Structure 1
Amino acid sequence: MNHDAGFAWADWAVATGWAALAGLAVMLVTFAVGVRLGMHRVVDVAWGIGFAAVAVTSYLVSGAQSDGDGGRRLLVLVLTGVWGMRLAAHIAWRGRGHGEDPRYAKMLAKAPEGRRNLYAFRMVYLLQGALVWLVSLPVQMAMYVPTGLGWVAWVGCALWGVGLFFEGVGDRQMARFKADPRNKGKIMDRGLWSLTRHPNYFGDFCVWWGIFLAAAGSWTVAGASVVGPLMMSYLLIFGSGKRLLERSMADRPGFAEYAARTSGFFPWVPRG
């Protein structure tokens, strides 16, 4: 990475506003769908779509301004879009036929009488829209890096590939496990799930650090955008990801034994 890549800060300042509007538009449409269905779990589908929308918007706006390297712009667009739309499709497929997510039901139970939807909009949709904008800072800034792709970007692509593998294969393994009636009430501890209790969250972690490396063509951009993967890492490990899921599973038969022998996040050989 270069120390000074001549980043077009003024143009990016305009484009990041358009990126925020793109993320907000996705959340507004999803909110309308959630109100119509009477179920706000649909916001989880919008999470991946929101990132894809920000990537497309940033790509188009930066193209009109002609500031960034074309190869880097296209690479980051593809990496973000593929990840976001795969995740959205998976969550939509996984949630078909189900009612409200228990997490949102518990949260919305605190809403004032008659203001459930407004409370959901403020506490769920707007919050997720803001997080999409913040986490996607590397994507937005990549569109204005004038230098061509170097070895750091290709390391990022490799890390992204590892992440997508863990996400996709882990999700597929879990889906097959749950589809077998003989596994009802059991803890999934096979395949990638024997190496880490959260292959999908670890995959997200790798994907976003990979996008960060692919996006950052200078130390200046890296320093300004590192808050994105740091925030995603916090959400996955300490926020709404691993911590909340394990809290809900703590009383399930066999989970304590599974947790004792299996790495909590980073893949490792099972203990014992």
Structure 2
Amino acid sequence: MSTVLITLVLYFLFAFTVGTVKKNHGLVDIAWGMGFVVSGLAALFTHEITVVKLLGFGMMLIWGLRLSIYLFIRNWGKTEDKRYTDMRKRWVKHPYLYSFLNVYALQGVLLFLINQPYYQLAFLTDPQLSLLSYFSIFFWVIGFIFEVLGDKQLSDFRKNPENKGKLITSGLWSITRHPNYFGEALMWWSMAAYSVSVGAPIAVLLSALLITLFLRYVSGVPLLEKKYKDREDFKIYAKNTSVFIPWFKGNK
């Protein structure tokens, strides 16, 4: 585990340096997904490598790479996100220290906690697949489809000039207001279940719970819901469409 921790510290120091030079701490969002991959590699190559571990690493690798590439294409070269710009205004004294601790170190700690399903899997000796393992992979694929297709549908919708100022309410967005976040949560529950199915401590399910709570109540859903909450079309949309879990209508 010490190798993983050292890797994360060095990785986020590098991300902090890039963000400081570019004067854009929003770039940490791009670094987030790759951080799972880099620290996962550190865990993988410091222990015995097996097919079972590679399957788990593959799920995490695909999720992390896709997220970082998606955010890189969307955010690289653009101005700093308002969230981080507002933070800068509060960091007049010791801006470098505060930005490192409140942005990069915090994300490093969260990453370490959320990626426990894979770390614990990597540390196992001769893990074996079970029926639950195959179910976990199946539901991971479902989650991946929700995340990727949800992002693509939103991107295509925004590219159409006729949709300027409108809300997307079609496709996966007709059964959940946040299909991409739901998909991400499902993928992490699936990865945690996969780890448990091959011998990891059941406590790794807490990692899936942690990222789900963050997506649903902290960093994902609330920020977007707040942006649109006063719009009449959004109120109608929210009344008829589940906020998170597909098909269950209403805004609860």
Give the TM-score of the pair, scaled to structure 1: 0.86
- Of the structure 1 ranges 246-255 and 72-81, higher mean CA displacement relative to structure 2 is found in 246-255
1:148 aligns with one of 128, 136, 139: 128
- Of the structure 1 ranges 249-258 and 30-39, higher mean CA displacement relative to structure 2 is found in 249-258
SS of 2:34's equivalent in the other structure is helix
- In structure 2, give the amino acid aligned to 1:94: R
Q: Distance in 2 between matches of 1:188 and 1:81?
A: 29
Task: Give the CA RMSD over aligned residues.
Answer: 1.7
Task: State the partner residue of 2:98.
Answer: 119
Q: Distance in 2 between matches of 1:187 and 1:222?
A: 42
1:10-67 CA-to-partner distances (Å, cap 9, x unmatched) read xxxxxx221122222221111111111111110001110011112111110112xx7x
Larger RCO (CA under 8 A, 6+ residues apart): 1
2:65 aligns with one of 69, 85, 94: 85
Unaligned runs of 5+ in 1: 1-15
Aligned sequence identity (%): 33
Runs of 4+ in 1 over 3 A off after TM superposition: none
Asked if the contact 1:202–1:266 (Cα under 8 Å) also holds between the matched residues in 2, the reply is: yes
Asked if the contact 1:72–1:214 (Cα under 8 Å) also holds between the matched residues in 2, the reply is: no
**Shift of the alpha carbon at 1:95?**
1.4
Asked if the contact 2:37–2:65 (Cα under 8 Å) also holds between the matched residues in 1, the reply is: yes
Task: State the partner residue of 1:26.
Answer: 11
Mapped pair 1:226 → 2:211: no
SS of 1:62's equivalent in the other structure is coil
Mapped pair 1:195 → 2:175: yes
**Shift of the alpha carbon at 1:222?**
3.3
2:112 aligns with one of 130, 133, 137: 133
1:51-84 CA-to-partner distances (Å, cap 9, x unmatched) read 1112111110112xx7xxx122111111101110
1:166 aligns with one of 139, 146, 167: 146
Task: State the partner residue of 2:56.
Answer: 76
- In structure 2, give the amino acid aligned to 1:38: K
2:196 aligns with one of 186, 195, 216: 216
**Shift of the alpha carbon at 1:269?**
6.5
Mark the CA change 1:187 to 1:97 in structure 2 (over 3 Å): closer, same or farther. Answer: farther
**Shift of the alpha carbon at 1:107?**
2.6
Give the TM-score of the pair, scaled to structure 2: 0.93
Task: State the partner residue of 1:17.
Answer: 2
Task: State the partner residue of 1:62.
Answer: 47
Q: Distance in 1 between matches of 2:166 and 2:10?
A: 40
1:36 aligns with one of 21, 33, 55: 21
